[in-house]
Amino acid sequence: MATIIEDRVGSEAVLRRHAAPNISFDQAKMLAAEFGTPLLCVSRSAVEHNYYELVNGLPGVEFFYAAKSNPDATILKTLHRAGCSVDVCSVGELKAALAAGFTPDQMLHTHPCKTIDNLMTCYETGLRWFVYDNAVELKKMAKHTPDVNLLLRVAMTSQSSMINLSAKFGCAASEAVSLLCQARDLGMNIRGIAFHVGSQTLSPDDYDVALSRVREIFDGARDEGIELEVLDIGGGMPAPYRESVLTLEDYCAVVNRSLQTHFGDLNIRVIAEPGRVISADTTTLVTAVLGKSVRPNGSTQYIIDDGLYGSFSGKVYDHTDFPILAEDADFRPTYPCVVAGPTCDSTDVVCRDQDLPDLEIGELLLVPTMGSYTNASASTFNGLDLAKAIPVA
C-alpha cells in the first residue's frame, strides 16, 4: 500500500503518496512456495482503507468503483461489503459485480456506446442508470430502453492527466445542451452530466476547471427548462508508481472547494467513478527471475515470469512505469540492467532503466501498485497463464 513521505519543494516540506509493497519479502517467499509465481497479492485492508479515505475526504459524494480498473473478486467483494457501488461497462463486468454481491440498483453503466446485447442484458438484469454522449446512442436507447435514467458524458480534456479520457468519448461542451434537449424531446429521463478529467491526473486543479465548465452546462440546461439533478465527477485521481503523487487529501480539498464554489447553491446528487485511486496500491506482484544473460551490447538482461503480455500490460495500455524492488537492495551494490518478460516476443521488455542488484535465478522481486489496468488487460499470449491473484490481509 502507498505510504506518505515528506518531500521538499525548495525550502517547503510537502507530503506525497509513495509506492510501497503490501507484503514483505519473507511473506512473499512463503506465498510463492504455496501458490507459485507470478502472484498478485490483493490486500483487503488496503481496499477498505482507500475506499474509506475517499468517503471521509469527499463527504456527500457517492462512489461507483470503476470495475474496469480491476474486476478482481477480492476487490469487488470488499468494496461491496464496505458500502460502495459499482461502475460497469460490459456484460462481463456486470456478471463480476453480481457475483460479488452488488445488486443492479447499486450499478451505473458508463459505456457511452453500447452493443444492443450489452444494453439489453444489463437492462433486463435491472440496471437503470446509463451514460450516452451522442445522438445515435440516444436513439438506440430511446428505442430499446426508453425508461432508463441518463447521464450525458461531456469531454473535459485536462492538462495534467497521463491518460486523456476525452479522446474517444464525451461530447463537446458546446453540444451538451442540444443533446440534453434531444433526450428530453425523445421522452427520456435525463438526469445529469458525467465528465472525466482524465486518468492519472497529476494536478487536482483540473477538477476545478472542469467543474466550472460543467456548471455552465447545468445553467444552459435550466434555460431550456431541464433541471439536472446528478453530477458525476468521474475518475482520475492518481496512484504512485515510480513517481510519487500528491496525497488524496490534496485532491479532496480541491474537489470539495470547487463543488462548493460552482454547485453549492444547487441541491444535487454528486457521484464519482474512482478506479485506480481505490485499486492500484492494493496489489503487489511477486515475480521470479527465470533467466539471466549478458547481451551482445554488454547489458545484463534478466527474464522474469511476468511481462508486458501479462500483468505489466499496464505499461503498454496505461503508460505506467512500475517500480521493481529487490530484497535488501539498499545494502547490495546495484547495476544498470534490462528486465524482460517471459514470452518469445522481443518487445516484451518491462524496463531498461532501473538499477538492480546482481540477481540470482529464482530470486523474487516485488512490484507494488499492480492493482489497476494490469491483470485486467493481461493476455495469455504465447500460451502463458495469467498471474494468479490471491487475497492477503
For helices 91-99 and 73-82, give the axis angle rounded to 10 degrees.
60
The Cα 278–Cα 47 span in angstroms is 6
Report in angstroms how near the CB of residue 239 gets to ligand PLP at its nearest. 8
Query: CB–CB of 272/64 below 8 Å?
Result: yes
Active-site annotation holds for 122: no
Tell me how far apart the alpha carbons of residues 62 and 60 are, in angstroms, rounded to a whole number.
7
Would you say 37 or 377 has its CB closer to ligand PLP?
A: 377
Task: List Cα–Cα distances, 247 to 1, 118, 140, 168, in angstroms.
Answer: 13, 37, 42, 29
Q: Provide the 3-class DSSP secondary structure of residue 242.
A: coil
DSSP characters over 6-41: EEEETTEEEEEEE---SS-HHHHHHHHHHH-SSEEE
CA 343 to CA 346: how far, in whole Å?
A: 8
Distance in Å, CB of 275 to ligand PLP, minimum: 2
Q: In whole angstroms, how close is the CB of 199 to ligand PLP at the nearest point?
A: 3
Shortest distance in whole angstroms from residue 235 CB to ligand PLP:
2
User: Among candidates 57, 27, 20, 86, which has minimal Cα distance to 257?
Assistant: 57
Nearer to ligand PLP by Cβ, of 69 and 118: the residue is: 69
How distant, in Å, are the alpha carbons of 66, 68, 80, 343 from that of 198? 13, 15, 25, 32
Applying CB under 6 A, which residues contact ligand PLP?
66, 68-69, 87, 110, 165, 199, 234-237, 273-277, 372
Of 41, 252, 344, 351, the active-site residue reads: 344
Please give the Cα distance from 96 to 84 (Å, whole number).
Answer: 15
What's the closest the beta carbon of residue 274 comes to ligand PLP, in angstroms? 5
- All three cell numbers of 381, joined, read 499470449
- Least distance to ligand PLP, CB of residue 131, Å: 7
In the bound state with ligand PLP, the residue whose beta carbon lies nearer, of 54 and 340, is 54
What does the block give as the cell for 112? 457511452
Q: Which is nearer to ligand PLP, 88 or 364 (CB)?
A: 88
Return the closest-CA partner of residue 231 out of 246, 244, 214. 214
CA angle (224 as vertex; 218, 228 as ends), nearest 5: 35
Q: What amino acid positions are annotated as catalytic residues?
A: 344
